[in-house]
Structure 1
Amino acid sequence: MKALYDFFRTPQPKDSNKVRYHARLVVRDTITLEEIAENIESRSSLRQSDVTGTFIEFANIFKQELSNGNSIHIDGIGSFRIKAESPEVRSLKEIRSENIHCSGIIFTPEKDLLRELKATSFEKVSETHRSQELSDIEIDGKLAEFFKDNSCITTQQLCSICGLRKATALRRLQRRVDDGKLSHPGYLRSPFYFPVPGWFGISRNS
């Protein structure tokens, strides 16, 4: 099976009239832990439940060791370590431990892994996933169609039905919240957005 790609418009300076495109991977699917465990079970004498339990315990130890400041190396994959950041200061005396935070995870792949992945074959998707190709009117139309069978939508679902990147989908959803077309519970971790009556074919009496 080949990896899928599509062409996306490259952001240009505001005063530039240039139009440029670049190729980017289009994620075919998200593989779950259950599917990985099932796959391993089919290739070995291990039971799926044992594999799942091992992965869960591995994830717990993985987080613990990273938070202890250790680097984790996995043969055939690479090394992981956390990235620490702090505000810029004029003097070392201004540095406080409470101002230092983890801003991400740094992954350094093994050379053999990179070598194998560089042999990946690609093919263009039959249906475009370009975020820039859909207007607000087109997105509203897709939302109206989606809400015929669903009471709410998530950022990931908007990515799927409109072919948007996550950051773009989040901006499009938030814009509709600001415009009074969608409502959001208000806390950051909630992934659900609800149509406001009077929009997207939702009756004001519903």
Structure 2
Amino acid sequence: MAVRYKLTKINDNITGKEQVKYSVTTVSYGNVNLDMLAEQMADASTFTYGDVKGMIENLTLLISEALKEGNTVTIDGLGTFSVTAQPNRDVEEPSKIRAESIKLKGIGFKPSPKLKDRLSNIEFTRLK
């Protein structure tokens, strides 16, 4: 099954000339959740659904703990997770940024070369 996409019109006013450009946005067929993955993994292995689900839930707990400790987490064949941060508010003086004024921005994910390679033959189809 191909990944669906749609074109989104964007106006480029940065150059001083009004130019119309198009951006590509992928459109999901739906969401594959933990239960679905655990069921598929159990069907393809000797592990039970409960075993697989428990292992994945434990993995997410261990990843969050490692990230809280200031580590990055690499899962071979999948990618690397890291914490991203930002100040609570805009600060003009670097000396005014302290640990207490920093908050979690998000979790970064960099896919592994192996994961990217597995997607090298991906197909796309335009949504009408």
Which TM-score band (shorter chain)?
0.7 to 0.9
Q: Is the 8 A contact 1:89 1:95 kept in 2?
A: no
Q: Deviations over 1:175-203 (max 9, x none)?
A: xxxxxxxxxxxxxxxxxxxxxxxxxxxxx
In the other structure, the counterpart of 2:78 is 77
**TM-aligned CA deviation for residue 103 of structure 1:** 0.6
Does residue 8 in structure 1 map to residue 11 in structure 2? no
**TM-aligned CA deviation for residue 90 of structure 1:** 2.1
Write 1 or 2 for the structure with the bigger share of helix: 1
Share of identical aligned residues, percent? Answer: 26
- What is the TM-score when the length of structure 1 is the normalising length? 0.55
In the other structure, the counterpart of 1:96 is 98
Question: Larger relative CO (CA 8 A, sep 6+): 1 or 2?
Answer: 2
Distance, in Å, in 2 between the alignment partners of 1:110 and 1:88 is: 35
| Structure 1 portions without partners, runs of 5+ | 127-206
Structure 2 counterpart SS, 1:19:
strand
Report the AA paired with residue 7 of structure 1: L
Distance, in Å, in 1 between the alignment partners of 2:9 and 2:94 is: 43
In the other structure, the counterpart of 2:120 is 118
Write 1 or 2 for the structure with the bigger share of strand: 2
Report the AA paired with residue 57 of structure 1: N
CA-atom RMSD in angstroms:
2.1
Does residue 42 in structure 1 map to residue 18 in structure 2? no
**TM-aligned CA deviation for residue 110 of structure 1:** 1.3
Aligned residues: 125
User: Which segment drifts farther, 71-80 or 4-13?
Assistant: 4-13
Q: Is the 8 A contact 1:37 1:52 kept in 2?
A: yes
- What is the TM-score when the length of structure 2 is the normalising length? 0.84
Following TM superposition, where does structure 1 have runs of at least 4 consecutive aligned residues deviating by more than 6 angstroms? none
| Structure 2 portions without partners, runs of 5+ | none
Distance, in Å, in 2 between the alignment partners of 1:72 and 1:42 is: 28
Distance, in Å, in 2 between the alignment partners of 1:41 and 1:115 is: 25
For the structure 1 residues 95 and 19, does the alpha-carbon distance in structure 2 shift closer, same or farther, using more than 3 Å as the test? Answer: closer
